Structure 1
Amino acid sequence: MSKLSKLEFVALDLSGNNYLSWVLDAEIHLDARGLGVTITNCNTTSSQDKVKTMIFLRHHLNEGLKVEYLTVKDSLDLWTSLKERYDHLKATVLPRACYEWIHLRLQNFKTICEYISVVYKITSQLKLCGENIKDEDMLEKTLITFHASTLVLKQQYGERGFKKYSALISCLLVAEQHNTLLLKNHEVRPMVTAPLPKANEVEAHDQSERRQNKNQGQNNMCGRDNGRGRYNNRRGGGRHKRENNMGSQSNPSRGNCHRCGMKGHWKKECRATEHFVRLYQDSLKRKENKYGASSSNARVE
């Protein structure tokens, strides 16, 4: 009795959904214990063996079924009653399993493991219902349901001439693992340009500094020219504005930078981008043109 304290396999459910697998498990375990004859018709086994079989079968029944068959004391009678009650499920399991097999597609699954699990579940149901699924059938089902984007792989696997389904699945699992590792390595260390040699790196740094100094000199020249234009066009107003700008350059906290228009730094210390400086200088030119046109119109009037 101590050996029966733990279930050898899943107990038969009250709904009978697992009846087909339960019958197979029960027959295998009874044969292993030498009690398989006790559930056959016209058997002449001893009453002691029949009691052992009865204890084993009841131990693997749902609590509701135990109550229903409480008065049944012969193992063959219990086995026959359960078969009459649930054996009709083959008529419902078989059509559903055939439908799932017909519509099974490898391309509908994210991983090979998920696909394999469903394949073996469906083929097991078909075999329990008397339908024999061979390796050739599973090989054909897998090869013809590859995704359209992997037709080359399908042809390569087909040309290898697999005879066993397990061999094809092993190759698919290995290929999937390699692809997963490649993607992970790419995400951890993406492709970057190779660093420059030290000699080229120093030369490139010097060229960058020369271009930066040249651009700053051109911007300073433009800034001085724009300042003179504003002084000539706006007359007195331009003079006062230039004086204010000069005062702001001597004291960055009170005015705007003459190069970029921002507060809080000297013009010679300006680190604004060239794009921003050009936008600011263009806005100043537009204002000068606007004020210059206004003063010209006033003189004409």
Structure 2
Amino acid sequence: MSQISSLKFWMANLVKLEFAALDLSGDNYLSWVLDAKIHLRANGLGQTIVDENDASPEENAKAMIFLRRHIYEALKNEYVVVDEPLALWKALGERYDHRRMVTLPKARYEWTHLRFRDFKSVSEYNSAMHRITSSMRLCGENISEEDMLEKTLSTFHASNVLLQQQYRHSGFKKYSELVSCLLLAEQNNELLLKNHQSRPTGSSPLPEINAASQEVNATSSRGSIHKRGRGGKRGRWQGSRKDRGARSEGLGPRMGPSTNGKNASRNKGKAQMSHVPRNVESPCHRCGAKGHWPQMAHQKYRVS
């Protein structure tokens, strides 16, 4: 039960941490030392971890609480009898300061084999550059801006010799200026490649969407008209009426006279209606206007 309570207390305490607590293995000791110094100075307690300081008992107590809160629980139990921040600071340094000697050779190895041409993008190379140089600086190794510029320019791909010479003649003084220029060039190259792949060289552009839609609309409208005039029932009825009208006016049938009695009676009625004289004086009994067919013809032959 006590272990569960201590675990809950430790988990609740993790939420209040300003930075990662010091691990028992000491793998994060170098970054922990830097974070602890910054936060102690921000809280006005930076002098508590300095030799021959004049910090008050209250300041030492606050610094001790802060340090113990940012170390692992098992590590805290090992230094439970230490009640001075300076003593705890030195004890942790003696225990984990060898991490500098372990980290520095690895960082030097990575720096030696760091090459710009081995990375797919400028962002990946820039991230690796800052990670390696930060590790070396934490271990006391000084890496200047000139070193970072030379490392980048001297590891270009062999096909980019002219580009590398242009960057050298640009006279960059800071590594960040060179990286900004490389990032801009990378984005422009990606845009140029996308434009080239969208339409190969020598090919004609696609028609505009407005012209294409107009052509489709015109084609569909012609098809609709053709369908109504020839394929639809209404078109066939109108066409047959036109043909019958043409035959009644004496233009002659295409396939000879029809032998159907029904059609013959219709044609006969059409012919009689065409010979009925117009009466311009008598008004129409249906609409009252003059110039229509006579009254009897209008009743007998209805024109639709």
Q: What does the per-residue CA deviation read over 1:61-101, in whole Å, with 9 as the maximum and x for residues that have no partner?
A: 12332232233222111111100001111111111111111
Match of 2:170 in 1: 160
- Maintained 8 Å contact 1:146/1:154: yes
Alignment of 1:31 with 2:41, yes or no, is yes
Q: Percent identity?
A: 61
Q: Does 1:141 align with 2:140?
A: no
| Residues 39 and 4 of structure 1: CA distance in aligned 2, closer, same or farther (over 3 Å) | farther
One-letter identity of the residue aligned with 1:167: E
The aligned residue for residue 26 of structure 2 is 16
What TM-score results when the alignment is normalised by the length of structure 1? 0.60
Quote the residue 2:161 is aligned against.
151
Q: Which amino acid aligns with 1:157?
A: Y
AA paired with 1:137?
D
Q: 2:134 aligns with which of 105, 124, 139?
A: 124
**Counterparts of 1:176 and 1:6, CA distance in 2:** 42
Give the letter for the 2:173 counterpart.
Answer: K
- The answer to whether the 8 Å contact 2:199/2:205 transfers is no
Give the equivalent residue in structure 2 for 1:107.
117
Aligned equivalents of 2:191, 2:93: Cα separation in 1: 50
Offset, 1:156: 0.9
Q: Is the 8 A contact 1:4 1:56 kept in 2?
A: no
Residue of structure 2 equivalent to 1:177: 187
Deviation at 1:27, TM superposition (A): 0.7
Shift of 1:42: 2.2
Structure 1 unaligned segments of length 5 or more: list them: 198-301
2:42 matched to 1:59?
no
Following superposition, the deviation at residue 6 of structure 1 comes to: 2.4
Q: Which amino acid is the alignment partner of residue 132 of structure 2? A: I
**In structure 1, how many angstroms separate the alpha carbons of the residues matched to 2:155 and 2:206?**
49
Aligned to 1:193: 203
Distance 1:100 1:195 in 2: 50
Match of 1:207 in 2: none
CA RMSD for the aligned pairs?
2.3
Q: Highest CA radius of gyration, 1 or 2?
A: 2
One-letter amino acid of the counterpart of residue 78, structure 2: E
1:70 pairs with 2:80: yes
Distance in 2 (CA, whole Å) between partners of 1:60 and 1:186 is 55
- How far apart are the structure 2 equivalents of 1:181 and 1:69? 59
Query: Is the alpha carbon distance of 1:89 and 1:4 closer, same or farther for their aligned partners in structure 2, counting shifts above 3 Å?
Result: closer
Q: In 2, Cα distance between the equivalents of 1:145 and 1:191?
A: 33
- Deviation at 1:11? 1.7
Residue 106 of structure 2 corresponds to 96
**1:29–1:195: structure 2 CA closer, same or farther, 3 Å change rule?**
closer
Listed as ranges, the matches of 1:210-289 within 5 Å are none
Q: Please give the alpha-carbon distance, in whole angstroms, between the structure 1 residues aligned to 2:151 and 2:178.
A: 12
Match for residue 90 of structure 2 among 69, 80, 87: 80
8 Å contact from structure 2 (residues 19, 35) kept in 1: yes
**Cα pair 1:136 1:163 within 8 Å, conserved:** yes
Runs of 4+ in 1 over 3 A off after TM superposition: 2-5, 184-192
TM-score (norm 2): 0.60
**Paired residues, what number?**
196
Residue type of the alignment partner of 2:181: C
Distance in 1 of aligned mates of 2:13 and 2:185: 44
Aligned counterparts of 1:181 and 1:153: Cα–Cα separation in 2: 19
Q: Write out per-residue CA displacement over residues 21-57 of structure 1, whole angstroms, 9 at most, x where no aligned residue.
A: 1111111111111100101122221111111111111
